[in-house]
Amino acid sequence: MTSLPVLPFRLGLQQRVLPGYRQPFFDTLARSCQGGLGVFAGQPRPAEMIESGPGLQTARYFPATNHHLLSGTLYTCWQGGLLAWLENWQPDALIVEANPRYLSTPAGVSWMHARRRPVIGWGLGAPAASGALAGLRRVARRAFLRQFDALLVYSAQGAAQYAGLGLNPDRIFVASNAMAPRPTNPVPPRPPAPAGRPVVLFVGRLQARKRIDLLLQACARLPAAVQPALWVVGGGPEQPGLEALAKSVYPAAQFFGPRFGPELDQLFCQADLFVLPGTGGLAVQQAMSFGLPVIVAEGDGTQSDLVRPGSGWLVAPGSLESLTACLAAALADFPRLRRMGLESYRIVAEEVNVEAMAAVFCRAVTAACQGRG
């Protein structure tokens, strides 16, 4: 069990946007801050389709004015109002996204350092640069990251990348990416093997990057005797096209549309396996809290500390062959599948949840404050 430390001061946290899935974490972190937690964030671009959620309950939200500049690989963002917010909120420590594309962040770092207050960068890591300017990009990235008093990163892979740039490993803290609190429900009872077709579940927004098309094709490639019932939960712009594809490729797929609360919980309880064939794994941790083994497309390393050989499989992104083989292996051994589900539950109950993530943030902030003191 993870108990939250107490931060005896006021904390500020900058985000480009405030997605709904992050709000439980920010409210959990706010409960550790005796002086409160202020979150400074702006609005996304309409094409990003980022859902905002119900709003913060414990942390305080301060709106930024996001100016989105250019697009694609040249995208940058200037957040208007950052210094005014710092003057108003007066945080004793500040956490910012460690992203050089956010052009206003260095001014915020300078404001904090001029007052001998620490700034902690929060990022994904620093993959090796390539191309003719790789050396210059590496130098620029190292210089950008060295302005922070500590670094928070989602995975051990990301931490190794930061350390590889010559940054102090003692100032790098791994906070495994979590979207949900520690589960309070017990593992749902499941029979040793399903009475009929096993149920493969997907939950998430139906967008092209989620690759539900691959999941439909992979199920269709399985031998008829082991083909599962495929339950697709969620809504989004791709739903009509996916339903049409399912009719021709895999009619056993069932589309439930958006489901929340007890309705969604019931679907998790009835499933045998959770699959995320594309990017954006917000429901992976939730599925594991219901004792489900998981198959997840390998991305930037943020899933590697959550999805382990004992709890699931990481598959090559965009590979129909890899996903099909993994599904076949998973559905061939139900006793193993049930054991993996129990390990999934243990991981999210003991290691990867918003309480554990908040505890690491508190340790990073405490270390940064001690370093500035």
Q: For residue 165, what pLDDT is reported?
A: 93
For residue range 41-55, list pLDDT tens digits in order: 999 998 887 777 778
pLDDT 10s digits, 85-125? 999 999 999 999 999 999 999 999 999 999 999 999 999 99
Domain ranges, ordered by start, for the chain: 11-179+353-372, 199-350
Common-topology check for domains 11-179+353-372 and 199-350: yes
Collapsed DSSP state (helix, strand, coil) of residue 333: coil
User: Which fold is adopted by the domain 11-179+353-372?
Assistant: Rossmann fold (3.40.50)
Ranges assigned E (strand) in the chain:
11-17, 37-42, 60-63, 65-69, 76-80, 93-97, 119-123, 150-153, 172-174, 199-203, 229-233, 253-257, 273-276, 294-297, 312-315
**Cα-flanking dihedrals φ and ψ of residue 295, to 5°?**
-120, 125
What is the rounded CA–CA span in Å between residue 145 and residue 131? 21
Whether 221 shows a pLDDT value over 90: the answer reads yes
pTM: 0.87
In CATH terms, the fold of domain 199-350 is Rossmann fold (3.40.50)
What is the predicted pLDDT for the residue at 1? 45
pLDDT at residue 185, rounded to an integer: 87
How much is the pLDDT for 207?
87
User: What pLDDT digit, counting tens, does each position of 265-308 carry?
Assistant: 999 999 999 999 987 667 899 999 999 999 999 865 567 778 89
d(CA 108, CA 276): 37
Cα torsion at 215, 216, 218, 223 (round to 10°)?
140
Mean pLDDT, residues 330-349:
96
